[in-house]
Structure 1
Amino acid sequence: MKHIDLIIIGGGPIGIACGLEAKKKGLNYLIIEKGPIVNSLFNYPVNMQFFSSSEKLEIDEIPFISNESKPKRNEALEYYRRIVTSNHLNIHLFEKVNSVKKEENIFYIKTEKQEYTASYIILATGFYDKPNTINVPGEELTKVAHYYNDPHFYAKQKLAVIGASNSAVDAALECYRKGADVTMIVRGPEIGRRVKYWVRPDIENRIAEGSIKAYYNTTVKEIQPQQIILKTIKGEVSIENDYVLALTGYMPNFDFLKRIGIRLSDDEKRYPEYNEETMESNIENLYLAGVICGGMDTHIWFIENSRIHAKTIIKHIISGKQNV
């Protein structure tokens, strides 16, 4: 069993930032990622454009040059991949962590491929792994997807898009423009207030002109092979349907956190417990970094405001080692 000073679980932008900082400070570290480099970004829609400008997505003051002020997914993949390869970061890809247990002062980590021990752990696993399900009959059908990739697939199809956030709006607009017959199903009275300001007028105008249909104050009762049953303020409505994109948001892997022993708040927010000054969790020498710190409030932490976590954590680890 190989011992490593610091294991960073999650190879997204913040996990990479932690690896860069650990390397600069001379720590023996390893990043473990269950998929490719920046797995969550890789699974974003192919045409996605970030809300943040490129300089706000930079890590370790490494310039991020993009064609427009707000970069696209492919540019972000190139940026973070080059950081990993050019800096020769120690990262294991396609290696899912199954368990983390602490005995005395040592962490025991089991992955799908091997086992490790570590003195310190950083969890930077993000929130994109587990979709918020709508829990209705038919959600398990193969026509239903919680992740959206390429609009070409839905051309000439009757597509229901559930949700009113950025991901739902982007999918509705892109699929409409590739020839899909799009219907949006929105639980509230309007399109989400956090939708990108340059996109919101587009979706509102398409709905107003009837190019994209929208049901507001509506939820899904049941999904069937050839139709979808809606609950509206005027009663039940059945519409023809070929495919469903249930883009209702995502959440951190709370089960994984609880198995490790990280305490979560009792309310629906499920905030993990950590020291805001050091990012150390309720488990000594186990730190949280990035979006995972916000629990269900996944809009609180972004790359741009959680980049500092890397320096904060590594500084605390170094000070602890010096005091031993």
Structure 2
Amino acid sequence: MTFYSTSDRLEIGNIPFLSQDVRPSRTELLKYYRLVTERQEINIKCYQKVTSIFKNTASYTVYAEDSNGNNIPYEANMLVIATGIFDTPRKLDVIGEDLPKLSHYYKEGHHYYGQHVTVIGGKNSAIEAAIDLYRNGAHVTLVHRGETVLEGIKPSLVLDMRNLLKKGQINFYPNSTIAMIDETTISINSPEGTVTIQNDYVFSLIGYQPNISMLQSIGIQTNSSTLVPSFNPETYESNVENVFLSGVVTSGITNRVYIEDGRFHGMKIANEIAQRLSYVQSNI
């Protein structure tokens, strides 16, 4: 996976990010994040999943579950929630979506050589997956609710996808949705009617959304249609006192915040928290 953003636009904490090419790979970015973590001595608790947050009178209790199933409580006077959106994929809401052959995440294509694979979506992740699957010998069908997939994607993908579609090497259903999925086929609602085709695997890459249930559990308000949470754009404090929001979680399902913008949220939040702590200490 190669990012669309250049490496300098992914830098955080004033630590330079050098990559082999102008646009870094996923592996390079992960190595960079690890470098930042070690250099700044950030205390990260790996393999712990936050399961719930409770609001106390003047503090918060965060419960996490480790890899052994143990519940671990953390007490805090202030919280920063930067959970992103990729843990909660958008659903198709069709019969068969829960079958094990369907995934909302794509890694690599060589496992699917010779298989009939359907990719659902029309943005960068779906197009990249479709191209990679084809190059690894899969029989690829691309389904998109829009008329074209050649607009609004990375320029580096447009030429490849245009050629594959022109030559019929990827089977494309525009203006279409999924009707149902079973063990061996997938049914598509196309402008010409419902079409059922052979299918071994499905990648539903139609986007992700924030885990609003976690936000709402402590009183954070969210827009019912966009899922954008309520927060102060100057401090990134939510409508709940001393709870801050950072990164793409602030954009709901609007896709208005990306890595290269969200990386600046942390500095504003840190400055606000530092001012509040300084005020408290000066009044002790």
TM-score normalised by structure 1 residue count: 0.83
**Following TM superposition, by how much is the alpha carbon of 1:231 offset from its aligned partner in structure 2, in angstroms?**
0.8
SS at match of 1:203: helix
The aligned residue for residue 293 of structure 1 is 250
Mapping for residues 203-214 of structure 1, pairs under 5 Å: 203-214=161-172
Amino acid at match of 1:261: G
Q: Which residue of 1 aligns with 2:126?
A: 168
Report the residue type matching 1:272 in the other structure.
P
1:202 to 157, 160, 168: 160
Answering whether residue 114 of structure 2 is matched by residue 156 of structure 1, we say: yes
Per the alignment, residue 260 of structure 2 pairs with: 304
The answer (yes or no) to whether the contact 2:150–2:162 under 8 Å persists in 1 is no
Question: Deviation of residue 194 (structure 1)?
Answer: 2.5
Residue number among 200, 222, 225 corresponding to 2:180 in the alignment: 222
Query: 2:41: which partner in 1?
Result: 88
Offset at residue 192 of structure 1 (A) = 5.9
Greater shift in the superposed pair: 49-58 or 308-317: 308-317
Determine if the alignment matches structure 1 residue 238 to structure 2 residue 238.
no
Q: Which moved more, 1:50-59 or 1:111-120?
A: 111-120
User: After superposition, what is the alpha-carbon deviation per residue over 1:171-215, rounded to whole angstroms, capped at 9, x for unaligned?
Assistant: 000010010000101111000633111111211210111111101
2:55 equivalent to 1:97: no
The higher relative CO (CA closer than 8 Å, separation ≥ 6) is in: 1
Q: Are residue 263 (structure 1) and residue 221 (structure 2) matched?
A: yes
Residue-by-residue CA offset, 1:81-118 (whole Å, 9 max, x unaligned): 12112332111111111111222211111111311211
- Alpha-carbon distance between aligned partners in 2 of 1:64 and 1:192, rounded to the nearest angstrom: 31
What's the counterpart of residue 316 of structure 1? 272
Q: Tell me if structure 2 keeps the 8 A contact 1:99–1:260.
A: no
* Contact 1:185–1:219, Cα closer than 8 Å, also in 2: yes
For residues 294-323 of structure 1, the C-alpha deviation after alignment (integer angstroms, 9 at most, x for no partner) is 0111x2111211222111111111111222
- Name the SS for the 1:91 alignment partner: coil
Q: How many angstroms apart in 2 are the aligned matches of 1:233 and 1:140?
A: 26
Partner of 1:186: 144
Q: Distance in 1 between matches of 2:259 and 2:194?
A: 41
Q: Give the distance between the partners of 1:51 and 1:62, measured in 2 at CA.
A: 20
The equivalent of 1:284 in structure 2 is 241
Cα distance in structure 2, aligned partners of 1:69 and 1:219: 36
Match status 1:74 vs 2:27: yes
Letter in 2 for 1:320: R
Q: Contact 1:136–1:220 at 8 Å: present in 2 too?
A: yes
Aligned residue number for residue 25 of structure 1: none
In structure 2, the gaps of 5 or more residues are 66-70
Structure 1: segments with no counterpart, 5+ residues: 1-47
- Equivalence for 1:119: 77
In the TM superposition, residue 258 of structure 1 has moved relative to its aligned partner by 0.9
CA distance in 2, matches of 1:308, 1:139: 37
Aligned amino acid, residue 203 of structure 1: M
Question: Percent of counterpart pairs with the same letter?
Answer: 38
CA contact (8 A) 2:150 2:161 kept: no
- 1:26-41 pair list within 5 angstroms: none
Alignment of 1:43-54 (within 5 A): 48-54=1-7
State the AA in 1 paired with 2:236. Answer: M
Query: How many residues are paired up?
Result: 275
User: Is contact 1:122-1:287 (8 Å) kept?
Assistant: yes
Give the 4+ runs in structure 1 shifted more than 2 A: 85-88
SS where residue 34 of structure 2 aligns?
helix
In structure 2, C-alpha distance between the alignment counterparts of 1:236 and 1:279, rounded to whole Å = 46
Secondary structure, counterpart of 1:85 in structure 2: helix
Q: What is the one-letter code of the residue matched to 2:202?
A: V
